[in-house]
Structure 1
Amino acid sequence: MLAKVEKKLDHYYYHQFMGAVLYGVILAIALNYFWKPGHIYSSGFTGLAQLIDTLTDGRISVSWGIAAANLPLLVIAAFKLSRRFAIFTALAVALSALFVPVFATKTVLTPDPLICAIFGGGLNGMAVGTALRCGVGTGGLDIIGMLFKLKFHTKVGSVNLAFNALIMIGAGLTYGWQYALYSIIGVVVSAHFIDVFYKQQQQVQEMIVTDRPEEMCEHIQRKMRRGVTIIDAAHGGYTGKNKSVVLTVVTQHELPDLREAIHEVDKHAFYSESKVDHTGGRFFEPEP
């Protein structure tokens, strides 16, 4: 039994380590091959590090800017969130700072700022989404968002928007306002790709119509740590038979497990899924 637990933990930490490595490599490629040649700024603390590098004429490089800006937040995350999360986030930040100069190049794939914004943003979104999917934070606004959610039970969208607006203004003042607009395009593309690769934060409501509600409820709760509500006395309009409706909310990432649980209990159950914009009450959030 102990060997199985150790194997599972090793597997979990392996995924976190690989997530941190992939984040560092992909971010460095996006920065060196697309953002720099296209004069495009990223969002968040990476964009802040780019702005510092520009304003200091390279005396404070992007690598040092990434490391220095994230250091105090990593210390706070270790005490307020979890040490494991802080350690792997620090690893992701350190590797990104390390790989930026390693992947430095004079090769210009294209000088077109629009192409650079789209492909750089896409790579950045893939890097961040993959890291988050592996349980690794990327520092900066990710940590601020988690701290706000933990303290105030709310998202930090306005803070993110204000912070990134300052970065875009910096891009406009530095390279010209057309580059600020290109940078905004890159941020939008990045946000879309984060949603594509990281589905844990996307919630889905599942409605299940079955004649085995108690068994369905017990199986879902045993297989997944999710609450279930049973609505009795439903009536089938076509069959005329009495049914029960089982409601639960899961993350997009958990949908395959939920569908499997439904099939294991009742192969003939009807179920439908709908996107959830907000949940209140005690929705289980795993420790970061």
Structure 2
Amino acid sequence: MNELEQIVKRYRNVTRLSVAVVYSLCVALAVNIFWTPGHIYGSGIMGVAQLLSSVSQRWLPFHIGIPLLYAALNFPLLILSWRKIGHNFTVFTVIAVCFSTILMRTLPPVKVQFDPIICAIFGGLFNGFGTGLALKNEMSTGGLDIIGIVLRKRWGKSVGSINIAFNTIVVAGAGFLFGWVYAFYTILGIFVNGRVIDALYTRDRKLQVIIITSNPEQVIHQIQDEMRRGITIVHNVEGAYRHRPKTMLFTVISRYELRDFQMALQIADPNAFVSITKAEMILGRFYQEHIY
């Protein structure tokens, strides 16, 4: 590994560590300031930890705190992440889980009672932002993020949608413990959380790109230098207005790569005509960057 690669790796590790701290603060704010005071449950393992904590407080002689349950429930999933996703990914996930557990423990819940709808929406915004930012930087927050990534690699489902699908038991628990109005608020919070995750974590979303250009060699060279993408070439395309010969290029990229694609095209041929549409399904070989 040369010196430049070491610098890049060090920069990425520092970035991931910073993101782990940001996520931990976001989840602590979501749980202690919005969800717990508003009797709102979060999504995934966090929601299950809240549910079990409420059950212990109501029916058991001792109360088990949310941070302890959150850490305990994440332990087997971290083992799954180590085996199925990647070692570096898991190491930073462990850091995120530890930081969030500590901050949830040290940040006291607020005494002010917000409206439950405000608690649901802002709790979902904070938690979804932290989770999506972590996934975007190739790390996880533990819990259903790990299950979502494993299932996404097999079936191609988006992480946020999988997160929503796993939360039926959490919603039912909220309704049973606090009433079905709070179950609705929990659904609202889970939905906001999932949408924010999908807005930030865009590696799952594929885009079909059609390029009409007079400089195909420069465009192909620039795109393939910036991204590992195959390109199909259609020769002898003619513009209907001036009847000049053109070349049509066809490729598929991820939403995450869109900015790199735009920069590459601006360098190669700023006058190219480009059409970009959402690709609902991809069959065949499509390179998906591994998460390490």
Q: TM-score by structure 1 length?
A: 0.93
1:219 corresponds to 2:227: no
* Cα distance in 2, alignment partners of residues 280 and 18 from structure 1: 37
1:169 to 159, 162, 172: 172
Residue of structure 2 equivalent to 1:7: 7
Corresponding residue of 1:46: 46
CA spacing shift, 1:17–1:171, aligned 2, 3 Å: same
Counterpart residue number, 1:35: 35
Tell whether 2:204 aligns with 1:208.
no
| TM-aligned CA distance change 1:79 to 1:3, over 3 Å | same
Q: Could you tell me which amino acid in structure 2 is paired with residue 46 of structure 1?
A: M
CA RMSD of aligned residues (A): 1.8
Q: Which runs of 5+ in 1 are unaligned?
A: none
Q: Report what 2:91 is aligned to.
A: 87
Q: Which residue of 1 aligns with 2:122?
A: 119
Partner SS, residue 208 of structure 1: strand
**2:94 partner SS:** helix
Structure 2 distance, partners of 1:278, 1:72, is 32
Q: Structure 2: which 5+ residue stretches go unaligned?
A: none
d(CA) in 2 for partners of 1:104, 1:263 = 50
Distance 2:158 2:192 in 1: 20
**1:91-146 deviation line (CA, Å, top 9, x unaligned):** 111111111011123432x4310111111111111111111112111112111122
CA drift at 1:219: 2.1
Superposition deviation, residue 193 in structure 1: 1.5
CA distances 1:120-179 after superposition (whole Å, capped 9, x unpaired): 1111111111111121111121111222234x3443888645530110000000100000
2:120 alignment partner AA: A
Cα–Cα, structure 1 residues 91 and 125, in superposed 2: closer, same or farther, change >3 Å? same
The answer to whether the 8 A contact 2:132-2:198 is kept is yes
Tell me how far apart the structure 1 counterparts of residues 165 and 261 of structure 2 sit (CA, whole Å). Answer: 38
On the 8 A contact 2:210/2:276 being kept in 1, the answer is: yes
Measured after TM superposition, the shift of residue 230 of structure 1 is 1.3
Corresponding residue number in structure 1 for 2:131: 128
Residue equivalent to 1:236: 239
Detail structure 1 runs of 4+ shifted over 3 Å in the superposition: 156-162
Aligned-residue identity in percent: 37
Query: In the alignment, what sits opposite 1:266?
Result: 269
Give CA-to-partner distance per residue, 1:59-118, whole Å, 9 cap, x none: 22111111111111111211221100111111111111111011123432x431011111
